[in-house]
Homo-oligomer: A and B are copies of this chain.
């Protein structure tokens, strides 16, 4: 167990959840709103965390898989009605991203669209954002140390709201909380984390510390994901996975790429409602293939970090891992139809992650990438 201080203070290690009461006191949060979701509320975890919060802590659970402005406004109403002065987010990326939006709206004027990164909205976000403690239950999104809240606005756009002030004031990363995660979600969230490490490493921005962290994280995930999927009670593998996911989140500042431009666009569909990590897993092989030849020696360095022989094809290895982990073969089986693709391409082009893909992607390129996963 240890304290790690990049981007924000992070209490890391099995048992670190016990630090929550003193952490809230240290941050001056006397009445938090606990944000989680219906899935977790069906487990003992929400009540366990609530018991570590001040007595009478209100709870908001109606968080959609892809959080919406509507849900944020509902949580905000509860936050205000209950006189809250901070937030505790428990869950995967959805409750954490929603809590970030609530902390923003609690102290900044509506509407949420005003803060969209793609429209330069970060200039409106100040240090007044309400303090947030993030407790991830997946390994995972890296949202616990990320500057972004991905929100579907009332106008249907899925946008990133991005500011250093949105970073949770404390991340409590306790791998024991992921022991109950079923194999399918362990796989999809672990591949999400792997996609963060790989996409940020490949992004053209110059940030050597981020690249070093990304390679370290990718190696940890690669060596431990199948172990954790095979035996969910393997705490050592769970701990390594959670560290890899944290490291993925620590590298977001380098920028993501086409995998995320497309998964954000697909994630903004109302129907089907698609899982972000699953989408990233499916999209990684074709995007790595698309970018090969535009990333210098970086694919070789990723293979070295994963312990793979130099001569193998990284995209094929990622595809084979998806198969071994029973990730759906493509997005058609998830309910995406041909008719949806043109608007997905439009949204991918408008996504903030599009700018940091190592190879400039046109609308035709995005359409070809989508067609490659229309299985």
Q: Give me the interface of A with B, judged by CB distance under 8 Å.
A: 1-2, 4-7, 12-13, 164, 205-213, 215-216, 220, 243, 246-247, 250, 253
Q: A7-B6, A216-B212, A253-B5 are in contact. Are A206 and B13 (CB under 8 A)?
A: yes
Question: Which chain B residues border A215 with CB–CB below 8 Å?
Answer: 212
Main secondary structure of the interface of A (DSSP, over half): helix
7 A-B pairs closest in CB distance = A212-B216, A2-B206, A212-B212, A209-B213, A6-B6, A212-B213, A5-B253
- Give A4 to B243 CA distance when docked, in angstroms: 21
**Nearest CB of chain B from residue A31's CB, rounded to whole Å:** 23
B164 touches A210 (CB 8 A): no
- Give A220 to B211 CA distance when docked, in angstroms: 13
- Give A247 to B212 CA distance when docked, in angstroms: 10
Contacting residue for A4 out of B5, B164, B210, B247, CB 8 A = B210
Question: Which chain B residues border A246 with CB–CB below 8 Å?
Answer: 209
- Give A174 to B317 CA distance when docked, in angstroms: 40
B205 touches A2 (CB 8 A): yes
Contacts A/B (CB < 8 Å), 26 sampled = A2-B205, A2-B207, A4-B209, A4-B210, A4-B253, A5-B7, A5-B164, A6-B6, A6-B7, A6-B209, A6-B210, A6-B250, A12-B206, A13-B206, A208-B216, A208-B243, A208-B247, A209-B213, A209-B246, A209-B247, A209-B250, A211-B216, A212-B212, A212-B215, A212-B216, A212-B247
